[in-house]
Chains A and B, each alone.
Chain A
């Protein structure tokens, strides 16, 4: 007997009394997450953008946020950020149209972040107000490693894409039947560890600093 049939057989034997039609199981499952507000942390009275910014820049998440009105202003804002930190004007830009079409003159472009210490600019698809997270999905124009290899991660986020809760994100993405990209990541701040005496340290393997350029347009 294969391991598969042995395992499923043992499970069925142990749960036999509970065998019911799939539709009934599905409706039971749906009631368990109905009215999600019961379990979602409330942030009444505060706008999605305000909540997002306060969470992202909180002590636990440690990102910095700057705000611009239009996408065209992004490169200048990035330059300011790097200047203030005495960083070289050197960065990798995610190969996606919305970022590629901006004017990056004045920056030296990196196309490899294998050596440590680089800067990358990526475009988040969504923001999550509950936790101050930004959302990335792998694609031809969205390499996963761009989010993990730099030492400084600069994230461009359009205010209109900020959703309240992860539950809203799942429904935005079309639910279980929509095609899924290989990897969907919620990034909340920078790479950190508390593995030595529970002391929080940033920059474990991935970014040590995260800066979010929030675009109003």
Chain B
């Protein structure tokens, strides 16, 4: 997709007036949050698993070169052809070359974010190959000519009513009814034959297993196995950070991935692919390629952005983000939306092109709290804000305000006086009600939010008062 993060403000203004989007997001994020909560409550070992998951990812990243070479050797021994791509362009070239050599006319595809990242659609178009998206959500957005708006549920921005009219218009046989069950059945009917006649199947990988050379896919639909089995050629495109040492390590992460992403203990289908069809196998592709993609990941290693490479793409951070819930994924104008996207987009493109993203954050910390590999997303967004300041990218008004704050903050007496006065002022402004809805200079900020009426006095005033009370009790 074409990145348009620099237009974040315009996108937001547009998104906030889209009533259907609001309905779609409200219907979905609430369900995802409660399912996740429930399944984690039923897993008392969660806290330990999270600590281990983080340690596994940190260990693997520390020895990334070692593990990638181990994976390459084992996958090659299994019969895979392993390719390396430093850039999305190189990855596209490799994929379209394979398709051309295979004489492919059609390709089925299982959704993967890495595929979106490198522009797999473009690669297939270059090779003259018809692309058939098989994940239901990707099928929906392919028909609608749109981009994904969520990393696990790419059509999260669509209401069922919108999907129904889309299928009415585009499916060979219209759905029997507008009931969600019939919509799913209609997509099944539409895609069935295409699965079986495709020349190439394209997947990503949720994990790479270094010591066996396996790639792992997880789906609920079973579209991975239907994509990776019938065609003669299977192409895997995957980011280099997806690697783990062995099967036991993958198991720790799989338990967390399903819980965080969809609120299940495990996805319906978890498949480990170990190479092409064995000589006497009943089915499977004879040609099997794995494309390992860097695209700025190696640059993040060894920097304060390294923890971002622990990400297992579960989507929990966006499901719990108030900004995402208000504006949806498209507003971010990039492949990766939400909190993790606000870190990845500037890391993979430029700070300038994505300058509003690190600022579109309330720093409420929910994303880090729900992240199964404990990525300090708010800290990383703060890092970007600091870098923006250094690069002179902070907007003039904010610069002026921050400089003013800096002046006052370095002078404790003036600071205490000013913050005490502003609390007093805000309480007056709230007119005795609990919320503030309008304020000069903050009208656009308050248009979609209320500010709670502040406590009596600043933190320092309250602290001093309570210390004083304690002393006088003694």
Contacts and interface: CB of A to CB of B under 8 A. Distances in A.
Contact of B282 (A41, A140, A166): A140
A61 to B, nearest CB: 8
Nearest to B78: A180
Contacts, number: 266
A204 B45 contact: no
A10 B294 contact: yes
Contacts of B284: 138, 144, 182-183
A37 B353 CA distance: 46
Given A3-B90, A15-B64, A196 B267 contact: no
B55 interface: yes
Contacts of A33: 52, 56, 246, 248-249, 252
Interface in A33-57: 33, 36, 38-42, 55
Contacts of B27: 197-198
B135 interface: yes
Interface string B241-265: 0000111110110110000001011
B290 to A, nearest CB: 13
A181 B278 contact: yes
A100 interface: no
Given A32-B59, A116-B188, A144-B283, A40 B66 contact: no
Contacts of B229: 144-145, 148, 183
Nearest to B251: A166
A105 interface: no
A195 B281 contact: no
B136 A204 contact: yes
Interface in B96-146: 134-137, 140
Interface residues of B, number: 103
B131 to A, nearest CB: 17
A167 B255 CA distance: 12
Nearest to B266: A131
A73 B472 CA distance: 84
Contacts of B251: 165-167, 170
A192 B268 contact: yes
B273 interface: yes
Nearest to B57: A32
Contacts of B270: 133, 185-186, 188
A182 B272 CA distance: 8
B184 A198 contact: no
Q: For B28, B78, B276, which residue has the most chain A Cβ atoms within 10 angstroms?
A: B28
Interface in B50-94: 52, 55-56, 59, 61-66, 68-69, 78, 84-87, 90
A130 B277 CA distance: 30
Contact of B278 (A2, A42, A182): A182
Contacts of A10: 294, 298-299, 301
B68 A114 contact: no
B181 interface: yes
Contact of B302 (A7, A15, A32): A15
B223 interface: yes
Interface stretch (B155-163, B363-371, B429-437, B444-452): B155-163
B222 A204 contact: yes
A176 B211 contact: yes
Contact of A197 (B24, B223, B245): B24
B282 A198 contact: no
A112 to B, nearest CB: 10
Contacts of B140: 195-196
A95 to B, nearest CB: 8
A148 B226 contact: yes
Interface stretch (A21-29, A76-84, A85-93, A154-162): A21-29
A176 B45 contact: no
A6 B27 CA distance: 46
A112 B182 CA distance: 25
B31 A114 contact: no
B180 A18 contact: no
A199 B192 CA distance: 22
Given A41-B43, A191-B221, A199 B153 contact: no
A204 B43 contact: no
A115 B220 CA distance: 22
B32 A198 contact: yes
A217 interface: no
Nearest to A16: B302
Q: For A7, A28, A167, which residue has the most chain B Cβ atoms within 10 angstroms?
A: A7
A2 B52 CA distance: 35
Given A10-B299, A183-B229, A183-B273, A38 B185 contact: no
A193 B184 contact: yes
B159 A36 contact: no
B271 A183 contact: yes
A29 B249 contact: yes
B10 interface: no
A15 B90 CA distance: 24
B266 A206 contact: no
Given A6-B86, A139-B282, 16 more contacts: A3-B90, A8-B68, A15-B62, A15-B63, A15-B65, A36-B248, A114-B196, A133-B270, A143-B282, A145-B226, A176-B246, A183-B229, A188-B270, A191-B220, A195-B137, A204-B187
Interface of B: 24, 27-28, 31-32, 42-45, 48-49, 52, 55-56, 59, 61-66, 68-69, 78, 84-87, 90, 134-137, 140, 153-155, 158-160, 163, 180-181, 183-185, 187-189, 191-192, 195-196, 211-212, 214, 220-223, 225-226, 228-230, 240, 245-249, 251-252, 254-255, 262, 264-278, 280-284, 292, 294, 298-299, 301-303
10 nearest A-B residue pairs (beta carbon): A14-B302, A206-B222, A143-B282, A14-B301, A10-B298, A195-B137, A33-B248, A204-B221, A4-B84, A180-B274
